[in-house]
Structure 1
């Protein structure tokens, strides 16, 4: 009789709604499976999945990654149309977690060694405490934002924030200073529900057994050094922080966006500007018009991913990938025809990884979401930073002022308000990236980080080893966890 092999150690994951939250957690789950011999239960909140999210999860299957749908919940009495997308996200996540204990009890796997969540699923802490399962937080944005988030509870209680607002510039212990209006936009109004929810979640980061962050030493040396050595973070006390980035979406299927890639194949090397504002970002009608004219005036080759204009910058967050309306209805008259020799206009969605990694792509006009940022760095593509919402202004400042891989589009006015960028300024910035010495300098720097990012994820690299140490500790946890 043969000896039955021991089951692979089991870890669970849960991300809050939205493709930008799900992607890095799913990539971490896959890395645990393929490189460290784990099995994973990847729990999915089923309220309002976007087409982009559904397509991504359905196309990235592995026999040891088990997708588990949480029960659909009725939130009709809790959410309303006048809520911001962020508040809706937090409420949906909070309510979905209520079913967690029964869901975990029904999973036919070995005992659970750990639970990995994103920052907006902190309700898991209580559920897993009852089950004696250690919970790790995966902070999917920058280490600089992680440092600010750990410092915010002190600001809220000790800096008289409610009366005078955030200090300007903001001085997070051990980190580069940053203008108050470049911080995550949720913190600009301390009375808002957005701020209250954000403070609620970041105040609970210290409850984690450890914190993964999607970054690495060469990209953010100052912030990571502060998190490890600065007296404030040692006294909080901050859980161990593990830089494990850059984790990005794997290359998409060659069947995704065939026409787009076929068009790119015909363009010269590093000649195309890829223009998109993320999975949820939208421009106003006036700004979209100016962007189109700016691209036309620049005479630069481009791919423009466009969606219906809105006065809300995050209007497409909950329906990413579902837009089907003809772009001609909201672009300048004749724009598509006039630029047909140099440009390609795409409605709503393009296979971003495939475009960014294509040899013909020379720069990315990006909203500066952290996932998109890491994808650009991974493939050596410099950026034009056009932040929209959330922490994107902060990312844009880091990328341009500290890292040196982006030039900022002046979308932020002197008082911190979002302003309309005119066509001539857009033309100028595009030319800077493709024709000037600043653009060449950015390209050199981003290629240095591309090489560094590859090394850190390879065996013996710092990010690989950071994850390996945690994975090995989970494998040794034979006496704890949820027996299932």
Structure 2
């Protein structure tokens, strides 16, 4: 574009929401758009988020990062309700910040930051939503308020009952996001109010690409996902927005040791297990997973945290204390256990990796697609169970472990799914399909690809929105 624009990005709390917003910021910068990321800064910071913000300031000096300090939320609120309360408290601070800027061409808010719609309206700033998950999730979310009202009971009481949504395969009630399972809860009521307001955004930037989700996108654009009388905002698929994985260097500038280990493994021979920033298991589950890996006979790279029973999930774990006796010694010639963290983007892209056992966070799923690696899906919380449905039943680029919705996935199930992906004809077909998805994703983000074209269409829409606001003023 010929004139420089200024966009403020407003992520929700949590690394899983900050990271894709950072990738979106980089996409804006590459197109000559000035970017500020406004990050909510509550008391008692999440150390993982705090570290991510610190790294961002150093790694991307061309990107302005502004912290928005907020007062403490109600002491009685916990978990997701606390996050939503903190985001509400941030609205006046966001408004004051935006009002202090000389010019803002657009405010782009995360899907959890719905109150930003009111801030944008007050200041006459064109306001758009960034949806960091699958377009199929967006299609479902827009239909959930009506589905929830029509359901005979809360989703949490409906178990295996299939729910029908336009644009996606049937979804079992037990696979709906945690925030929506009890319609009588304050959390569910709050989320339903937020979902009902999503169509108020001037447009939606989705972290996906046209070729990956044609059915969901058609349903969205045909108006099948919003109530009668309402219109669907313009949808812009601008993904995959993922970490390019160009460097896994630490402060010393050296590659992570696990990448050196992968260099010594045969091509597509390693099963990589990594479950995101919130992936914490019981000690019993960690032991079962270890048994399954050992019995499979395959090479593995496994990121582990201390068991759920221990208070501080960020503490340095001691695998000897909670894995089966002798496991590390018996598998030392073909396995590597990492403590707490791995450079996931770089690992998934390594040619030695042949399968990815993942919690199905959308960032992780896109990284696997961009690397052409089939997935063994083990969803844990939030919208991850929905993503499992899309990856396994719609896209056919992953398989799910049985028993993830129960207390324990057995070691024999871990072994069976590892063998399926790494050894069987079905596994070969999975690999072929994800290779096709990889090729489509690579093309989508290139100049002239579907996501590149969508991004420029969005920037053109900004010009029209700004003109409309000027006339209204």
Check whether TM > 0.5.
yes
Residue 161 of structure 2 is matched in structure 1 by 168
Residue 189 of structure 1: aligned partner: 182
**CA distance in structure 2 between the partners assigned to 1:411 and 1:148 by the alignment:** 24
Partner of 2:122 in structure 1? 130
C-alpha deviation, 1:72, in angstroms: 4.0
- Which shifted more, 131-140 or 98-107? 98-107
Match of 1:384 among 373, 376, 388: 376
Show CA shifts across 1:148-187 (max 9, x none): 1111121233445459966932111343222222222322
Alignment of 1:210-249 (within 5 A): 210-233=203-226, 235-249=229-243
CA contact (8 A) 1:119 1:137 kept: yes
Give me the whole-angstrom Cα distance separating, in 1, the residues matched to 2:181 and 2:208.
Answer: 25
Unaligned runs of 5+ in 2: none
> Which residue of the partner structure matches residue 280 of structure 2?
282
The aligned residue for residue 474 of structure 1 is 462
Equivalences for residues 69-468 of structure 1 within 5 A: 69-75=67-73, 77-80=74-77, 83=78, 85-107=79-101, 110-161=102-153, 168-233=161-226, 235-251=229-245, 253-256=247-250, 258-310=256-308, 322-412=314-404, 417-468=405-456
Deviation of 1:399 after TM superposition, in Å, equals 0.9
For CA contacts below 8 A with separation 6 or more, give which structure has more relative contact order: 1
Question: Aligned pair 1:40/2:39, yes or no?
Answer: no
Partner of 1:3: none
Distance in 1 (alpha carbons) for counterparts of 2:440 and 2:185: 40
Q: Secondary structure at the match of 2:69?
A: coil
CA shift, 1:232, in A, is: 5.0
Check whether the contact 2:70–2:86 (CA below 8 A) recurs between aligned residues: no
Q: How many residues are matched?
A: 459
Q: Is the 8 A contact 1:364 1:384 kept in 2?
A: yes
3-state SS, counterpart of residue 403 of structure 2: coil
Q: Can you list the C-alpha shifts for 1:421-459, whole angstroms capped at 9, x where unaligned?
A: 211221111111111111111111111110100111111
In 2: Cα distance, 1:329 partner to 1:153 partner = 46
Rounded to whole Å, the distance in 1 between the matches of 2:156 and 2:104 is 46
Q: Over residues 326-368 of structure 1, what are the superposed CA-to-partner deviations in whole Å (9 max), with x where a residue is unaligned?
A: 2222222222122111111111111100111111111100000
Moved more, 14-23 or 165-174: 165-174
Structure 1, residues 84-117: CA drift from partner, whole Å, max 9, x if none? x22222112221222112222334xx41011001
Measured in 2, the distance between the counterparts of 1:406 and 1:448 equals: 13
- Residue 166 of structure 2 contacts residue 216 of structure 2 at CA under 8 Å; is this kept in 1? no
Give the whole-Å Cα distance in 1 for the aligned partners of 2:202 and 2:10: 16
Deviation at 1:400, TM superposition (A): 1.2
SS for the counterpart of 2:162 is coil
Report the CA distance between 1:381 and its aligned residue. 0.6
Q: CA–CA distance in 2 between the matches of 1:396 and 1:155?
A: 20
CA contact (8 A) 1:17 1:49 kept: no
SS of equivalent to 1:452? helix
**Cα distance in 1 between the residues matched to 2:351 and 2:146:** 46
Root mean square deviation, CA, Å: 2.3
After superposition, the C-alpha distances for 1:381-430 in whole angstroms (9 at most, x for unaligned) are 11100110111111112111111111110024xxxx42412112211111
Mind listing any 5+ residue stretches in structure 1 that lack a counterpart?
1-5
Superposition TM-score, scaled by structure 1 size? 0.89
The 5 Å alignment of 1:15-26 reads 15-26=11-22
What is the CA distance between 1:19 and its match in structure 2?
0.7
User: How many angstroms apart in 2 are the aligned matches of 1:157 and 1:404?
Assistant: 31
Contact 1:113-1:480 at 8 Å conserved across structures: no
Give per-residue Cα distances to partners, 1:35-93, cap 9 Å, x unaligned.
Answer: x2110110011225444434444444434410001014222x3445xx2x222221122
Q: TM-score, normalised by structure 2?
A: 0.91
**Aligned to 2:41, what secondary structure does the other structure show?**
coil
